[in-house]
A and B are shown apart, each in its own frame.
Chain A
Amino acid sequence: MKRDVAVISFAQSAHVRAVDSENEVEMLMPVVGDVLGAIDMTMDDIGFTCSGSTDYLAGQAFSFVMILDGVGPWPPIQESHVEMDGAWALYEAWVKLQLGEIDTALVYCCARASAGDLPMVLTRQLDPYTAGPLWPDSISLAALQARALIDAGKATEADMAEVAARSRRAALDNPVAQLAWDRPAGELLTEDHLVAPLRRHDCPPISDGVAAVALAAGDAAGDRCRRPAWISGIDHRVEPIHLGLRDLTESRSTRLAAERAGVHDGPLDVAELHAPFTHQELILRDALGLDATTAVNPSGGALAANPMMTAGLVRIGEVASHIHDGTANRGVAHATSGPCLQQNLVCVLEGDGAGGRRR
Chain B
Amino acid sequence: MVDVVLPESLRGVEPVRSVRIPARLEYRYTPGAASSRFLRGIAEKRILGERCSVCQKVYVPPRGACPTDGVPTAEQVELAHAGTVVSFCVVNVAFYGQEMEIPYVTANIRLDGSDLPIMHLIQECPADEVRIGMRVEAVWVDDADLGPTLESIRWFRPTGEPDADVDIPGEGVGTGLGSWVGGTAPGEGP
Contact = CB atoms under 8 A, between A and B. Distances in A.
B34 A26 contact: yes
B64 A23 contact: yes
A266 interface: no
B68 interface: yes
Contacts of B144: none
A10 to B, nearest CB: 19
Given A115-B27, A133-B21, A25 B173 contact: no
Given A72-B71, A75-B173, A59 B30 contact: no
Main secondary structure of the interface of A (DSSP, over half): helix
B66 A72 contact: yes
Interface in A51-82: 56, 58-59, 66, 68-76
B139 interface: no
Contact of B26 (A69, A114, A117): A117
Contacts of B71: 29, 72
Contacts, number: 90
26 contacts: A22-B64, A23-B31, A23-B32, A23-B35, A25-B32, A25-B63, A25-B64, A26-B72, A29-B64, A29-B65, A32-B70, A56-B25, A59-B25, A59-B29, A66-B63, A69-B63, A70-B65, A70-B70, A72-B65, A72-B67, A72-B68, A75-B174, A116-B27, A124-B25, A128-B21, A132-B21
Looking at chain B, what size class is its interface with the partner chain?
20 to 34
A129 B21 CA distance: 8
Main secondary structure of the interface of B (DSSP, over half): loop
Contacts of B63: 23, 25, 66, 69
Looking at chain A, what size class is its interface with the partner chain?
35 or more
A19 interface: yes
Contacts of A19: 30
A43 B70 contact: yes
B15 to A, nearest CB: 14
Interface string A18-50: 011111111001001000000000010000000
Contacts of B17: none
Nearest to B66: A72
B68 A29 contact: no
Contact of A71 (B29, B36, B70): B70
Contacts of B69: 72
B19 A121 contact: no
